[in-house]
Amino acid sequence: SGAWGEAYDVDQDRAADSLLAQAIHGVDFPKTVQQAHDDGVRIFLEMGPGGSCSRMIHKILDGRSFRARSISSATQDEPSTVLRVLGMLISERVPVDLGQLFPERRRIVEEEGPVTRIPIGQASFGPLPLSSKGAGETTNAGDSPAPGTPPSPYQDQPLVPYGKPPDYEHGPANHELASSDYEVGSPGSATLPLELNKAVRAAENTIHAHEAFLRAAQRTQELAEGEYARQQELVRTLVADGADVAAGTALVDSAAPADSTTLAGGKPGTPVTQVPSRPLAMDRDQLMEFAIGSIGRALGERFAHVDGHPTRVRLPDEPLMLVDRVTSIEAEPQSMTSGRIVTEHDVLHDGWYLDGGRLPTCVAVEAGQADLMLSGYLGIDSLTQGLAVYRLLDAVVTFQSELPRPGQVVQYDIRILEFFRQGDTWLFRFQFDSTVDGRPLLTMREGVAGFFTQTELDAGKGIVQSTIEARRRAGSRPADWTDLVPMGEVRVGGATAGEATTGEDVFDENKLAALRAGDLVGAFGDDFSGLPVTRPLTIPGDRMRLVHRVTELDPEGGRYGTGLIVAEADIRPDDWFLTCHFSDDQVMPGTLMYECCLHTLRVFLLRMGWVAETDDATWQPVVDVRSRLRCRGQVLASTKMVTYEIHLRELGYQPEPYAIADALMYADGKPVVEIRDMSVRLTGTDQLALETTWAGRDRSADSTDPTDPMDSTDSPDPAPTGVTPSASTASEPKVATSHRIETRERTYQRPYDSKSILAFSSGKPSEAYGAPYSIFDEGERRIARLPRPPYQFLDRVSAAHGEPFVMKAGAKATAHFDVRPDHWYFEGNRQQEMPFGVLLEVALQPCGWLAAYVGSALTSEHNLRFRNLGGDAVQLARLTASEDVITTRVGLTSVSASGGMIIQHYSMALESERLGALYEGTTYFGFFSEQALADQVGIRDSVIHEPTEAEKQRGRSLEMPHSAPFPDPRFRMVDQIDLLVPDGGPHDLGWVQGSITVDPAAWFFEAHFYQDPVWPGSLGLEAFIQLLKMYAVDRWKLGDDVEFETMPGAETDGPASQLRHRWTYRGQIIPGCTRVDVVASITHVDDAQRRVRADGFLTVDGRTIYAMNDFTLGVIA
C-alpha cells in the first residue's frame, strides 16, 4: 500500500481501505520504497512515462543494493527500452518469457552449396523477426539474379524508368522570378531545412540493436559486440566478393541456435521464402563517389564530361553526407526539366549529431540535400560549365511531428518543379516531403536555389534590413507569465570581429563550456545552484559547438520587447563544415546557420529557467509553425566571425514550453541570413514541471517555485482572543505619516501606518489598501491576512514601488518594526537575543503585506490562503533587547499562477538602526485553496533516521525543563524530550527527538491568522532550536544563566563563516491536529567554541511537513 507504506494481505475490504487511505492522504513514496527494500525487494520497475520514480528510488535507497529501471523513456524508442529492461531482468536471473515478444517463426539459415564460414562466437538467440506479422512472399530462387552479378548503374539511361511527375512543367523556363526579392548577386549558402520521409529500414536497425542487447544480457556485452562486428565484416566480405547476399539466404522453420552463422549462394530452382527487399537506384558508395569522386563513375558515361569542370554540383563529404541511399529517381537525364528523387537517411545510435537522443533540426532538414544531385542529374553542370556554384536562396520548413530517434529511417521525397533563368543566372524551384515510418515529419516548400558566378557572389548585398525592420510589433507572452529566475540585462558594446568581448556577466567560452557540461552554476551563476536536476539538457558540443560566446542578453529587449540575445562564433579555414561542404566549393551550409541561431535561442531559454533532465526532455521544433529561411550571403574560409542576433517574438506553454523568434546572422558584420518564425519547444515538461523544479531548489535564489498544492508551511491563523503571551501587544510606531508610493506610471499617496496594518490583519482590508478590497470587508469572501498582535511584527510601511493591484514581478516595499527591550518575546524566551522565530517574522511579514498590495487575492474568485513555502538566508548580527528599529526591504522577484495556485518569490534584507546589516535571504510563498491545503502530503522525499535499539538504550528521555535557559510557557514549543542520544544519529554526533501536544486554544492560533488559524512556521523552527538548546545544555553542562546565539558566525569568524540556513514547509498544523514531533540530527560540533550545527524535520500526526538544514546554535556566555 502506497498510503500505509507496507505490504498487506489483499482482500476486498483491505484493498478498499488502502485505496481510501491513498485518496485521503496520498502516497508516502519514500516510506513505501524503504519498506519494500526492507522486505527484500531489490528490483523496481517503473511503468512510465518517464523515469522520475526511478530517480527518486535511487535517491531514497542511495548506498543500498537494488536495481531501478523505467520501461518508458522520452529519449529512446519504446521497443528498445522494453528490451533493455528485459535484458536487465535476465541479467538479474529473473525468469523472462521472450516467446511473448518473439514467437517461434521462420528464420534465415544456410542452403546447400558453396559457402563461406566465419566463426562468430558462442550460440546466440538467433536473428529476430523483421516483423511481428507473417513471413515474406514465396518465390523461386531461380528468379533472382545470379550471385555475383549485381546490376550496373553506369548506363546512359534513367537509373529507374522515367515517369514524368504530375503537374510538372516541361523544359527550361526563361522567365523572371515571381518575386522581385530574388536578386542575382544576392545568393545564400548551401542547402537548408528540407523534409524527412519514410523509414523502411528503421525496424531492421532496431532489431539488430535489440538482438545484440539480449545476447549481451545472456552472455556478456563484450562478446555480443564482437559477434556483431564479425557479422558485419562477413557481410562486407561477401559483398566485396560479389555474392548476392539477399538472394542467397533462405528462411526455414526455426531450429536450435547454431554455433556459427553461414551465408551462402542460392541454389536455383529451390522454392524459398525471401526476406523482402527493394531495388536501390544508388547505394552509399555510389553516393560518396558523386560527393567527392568522379561524376561520370557515379552517374554514367553521359556525365563523364562534367569531371573536367572546375566545380560540379555535389553532395557534401563526410560527415555531412547524409544520403544513405537513393531508392528511386524519376527524371530524364540532362533534360533540364522537372524531376523527382527519393532518398533515405539512417539515424544511427552513435550518430555524431545526436542532440538529446534525437536527430537535430538542422540535420533533419539537411538530410534532404539530394536536390543537389537531382539538379546535376537533370543537367545543370552542362550549362554552368563549372563556372557557377550552387547556393540556396529560400525555403519554408514546417515540422509535423517529433524529431526522429536512433534506429529510425527518414525518407525524403524531393521534387524539382522547374528550372528558370534570371538574366544569365540559372535557378530552380523545389520542394520535398519527409516521413518516418510513413508518418509525416516535415515539409519544405517555396524552395529556391540558384547557380552563381564568383562575381555575382561578391556583389551580393546581403539581407535588406528594411524587410525585417518592417515587422516591428508587440511580442506575445501569456497573461499570467512570470519569470522562473531573475534575468539581468547583459550588453557588451564595442566588440568587432576578432576582438575578445569582456564583461562580468557575459557568457564567454568558459561559461558556455560549463553549460555544455551541464554545470548550470558555472554557466549562469548562483541563481541556478541547488536545482534538483542531475543531467540538464543544454546545448551540444563537439562538432555542434556552434556558439562561442554571448555578447548581449536583454530579457525585455529586441524588436518585440520579449527578449534579445546576441552571440558570436569564430570561423577558421579548416572548420569541418567548410572542408566537407563541398569538396570543390567550401561554404557553410544554410541549415547549419539555422542551427547556430537555434542554439543561441536555447541559451536564452536555459538562462530563463527552462531546465529539464536530459533523460526526460528534448528540444524540438514547434509543430505546424512555418519557419522561413532567406539566404543572401555566404560564410567562407575567409570569414573571420559570424554573429547571431535573435529577437524573441512569442513565449508560452501549450502545455510544453515553446518560443518563436526571428533571427539575423551576420558574416563579418554583413547580414547574410534571415530566419522568420524560428521555433523551439522543450518536450517532456510543462509549466508546472518547470515550476516544480525551481521550487525544489536547495537554495532559493529569486527563482524557486513549488508546484505542489500541498506545498505549504507557514500557516494562517485567526485573531488574538485568548491567552496572550504578555500584557504588551503591538507597539505603536514612532512615526505614523503619509508615504508616497512611486510607480513608473504615476505616484500614489496613502498612509500605511500601524492603523492600516491592523486593519489588514484583523479589520476591514479596504481600510488598509482601498476600495478594490471592499469585497473582503464582509460576507463570505475572505482574504489572506497578516498575523495579529501579539504575533504582528510590522509597524508601518514607508515606501512601496509598483502599481497597486497589479500582480507582477518588480514590486518592492520598505517596512519598519520598532524593537523595545520590554517586548514580551524577550521575557518569554528568557534570553537577551531576539528569538529566531520573531526575527524571521520581521523578515516575512512585509512579504505578506506586499502580496496584498499587488492585488494577489483579486486574481481569483475563490478564497485563497497564504503560506510560506521555504527560504534560504543568513543572519549577519545578533540583535539583543535594546531600543532599535529594524528596516525590512522586500522585493517581489517572480510570480507564477497555475491550476488555481499562485507562487511568489521574494528577496528580503533587514537592517538594524544600531547594528547595520542584520539578516538577508530569499523566500517564497503560495496562495492555495482550502481544499488544496487539506490534500497536502508533506515532504515527499524525507528520509528520517530511525534510532537503533542500541541508541535507544544509550539515550534518555525527560520532560522539557520549565526553567531558564529554556522558554516560559508563552514561547515553549516542546513539552517532552522523547530521546536524547549524545552520540547518536546518522553522524554519530547526536540525536534529539522532542514532541508537543497540539492545544487548539493556544494563543498563536488566535494571532496567526484571523479567519485562518494555523501554527506559525517560524514557531516550528523555534521548536527545532529548542532541541539544540537541550543538546547544548546536556553536552556542555550549562547553567540557567547561559546565553545562546542562533546562527552564530558573523561577529566572531567573519564573512567566510556565515553559514546559510534553509527551511522548507510542505504542510500545516491546524487546531484539529493532535501531536507535533521534531527531530534534530547533529551534523557538526565545535567543542572549543561551543557551537553545534544540525538538520531536522517536523512531523504532525505522522506526516513530515517541515525540513530544516544547517541551523546553528552557539554559546556566548
Question: Which positions are catalytic?
Answer: 581
Sorted by sequence, the CB contacts under 8 Å of residue 522 that are 6+ apart come out as 510, 511, 514, 515
Q: 3-class SS at 256?
A: coil
Backbone angles phi, psi at 677, to 5 degrees: 60, 40
| Measured distance CA(1091)–CA(1116) in Å, rounded | 9
Task: Please report the DSSP string for 450-489 in residue order.
Answer: EEE-HHHHHT-----HHHHHTT----B--TT---SS----
| Measured distance CA(914)–CA(879) in Å, rounded | 9
Residue 495 vs residues 491, 667, 668: alpha-carbon distances, Å? 11, 14, 12
CB 908 within 8 A of CB 844: yes
Backbone angles phi, psi at 902, to 5 degrees: -125, 130
Phi-psi region of 612 (alpha: psi -120 to 50; beta: other; left: phi over 0): beta
End-to-end CA distance of the chain: 52
Closest listed residue to residue 970, CA positions, set 839, 825, 838: 825
Cell of 399: 515540422
Cell of 173: 523556363
Q: Which amino acid is at 543?
A: R
Q: Which amino acid is at 630?
A: R
Residue 1109 vs residues 168, 469, 871, 973, 1075: alpha-carbon distances, Å? 72, 53, 11, 19, 22
Q: 3-class SS at 1077?
A: strand
- Torsion angle, CA of 765/771/772/777, rounded to 10 degrees? 40
| Measured distance CA(539)–CA(1110) in Å, rounded | 34
Q: Are strands 956-959 and 976-981 parallel, antiparallel or unpaired?
A: antiparallel
Q: 3-class SS at 290?
A: helix
Closest listed residue to residue 1003, CA positions, set 732, 784, 717: 717
Sorted by sequence, the CB contacts under 8 Å of residue 14 that are 6+ apart come out as 8
Q: 3-class SS at 318?
A: coil
DSSP classification of residue 368: T
Q: Which amino acid is at 552?
A: E
Q: 3-class SS at 121?
A: coil
| Measured distance CA(399)–CA(505) in Å, rounded | 35
Backbone angles phi, psi at 1075, to 5 degrees: -140, 140
| Measured distance CA(735)–CA(729) in Å, rounded | 17
Closest listed residue to residue 191, CA positions, set 343, 369, 364: 369
The alpha-helical segments, DSSP class H, found in 241-325 are 284-292, 295-299
Closest listed residue to residue 880, CA positions, set 733, 1045, 760, 1039: 1045
* Strand positions, DSSP E, 960-1074: 976-981, 991-997, 1044-1046, 1061-1065
Other CB atoms within a 10 A radius of the CB of residue 253 amount to: 9
Q: 3-class SS at 668?
A: coil
Cell of 16: 478498499
CB 1098 within 8 A of CB 995: no
Other CB atoms within a 10 A radius of the CB of residue 594 amount to: 26
CB 485 within 8 A of CB 893: no
